A and B are shown apart, each in its own frame.
Chain A
Amino acid sequence: GNSVTQMEGPVTLSEEAFLTINCTYTATGYPSLFWYVQYPGEGLQLLLKATKADDKGSNKGFEATYRKETTSFHLEKGSVQVSDSAVYFCALLHYGGSQGNLIFGKGTKLSVKP
């Protein structure tokens, strides 16, 4: 079946450090891939997406590239800020018979220290 595996947290970084959160997926066909973010006390927000192989999604300094050959969608940011502290979820959307429900990873908690 379809699934998403992301690196376990928590991840603690100092401000301005480089961030990578690994995400790999298992799916038949060609799913769309997403990163969602959940700030403390808030709902899930779409951070970025990529709908086909080699697409790069980007937003707020975060980037992720859809790599079909490695079935990966790693999240990166060159210089994190304290305000980036949140839980990050990798997700896939497979249109198959399910008509578009998201399948999420377990989430990775990021804490950025000043």
Chain B
Amino acid sequence: DTGVSQDPRHKITKRGQNVTFRCDPISEHNRLYWYRQTLGQGPEFLTYFQNEAQLEKSRLLSDRFSAERPKGSFSTLEIQRTEQGDSAMYLCASSLAGASYEQYFGPGTRLTVT
């Protein structure tokens, strides 16, 4: 297994455009998490899935954000009508359901909104 992968690694977009990121977790992991990290800050939780069910969403996840995990494997995070404040590193992590303390992180997608 090659670990958690994310695509793209970098994305530059203009304000108002929509963007979509993809995360492929470790294959046997049934939990998948999205975090956001801004410069000089630690990661902040956005949402998580167990299999295909989205079980929790943070207050940070405004209605412009939507996440899916349709078959319980990879996940997508879409941001509609991007704003400059959305510029951040978006991190994906995965774990086994009984081992949330062992979250394995991907390299992240760096979003720049101009």
Contact = CB atoms under 8 A, between A and B. Distances in A.
Contacts, number: 60
A104 B101 contact: no
Interface stretch (A12-20, A60-68, A71-79, A92-100): A92-100
Contacts of A103: 45
B21 interface: no
A43 B105 CA distance: 6
A39 B58 CA distance: 27
Main secondary structure of the interface of A (DSSP, over half): strand
Interface of B: 4, 31, 33, 35, 40-45, 48, 55-56, 58, 91, 93, 95, 100-108
Interface of A: 4, 32, 34, 36, 42-46, 49, 51, 89, 91, 93, 95, 98-107
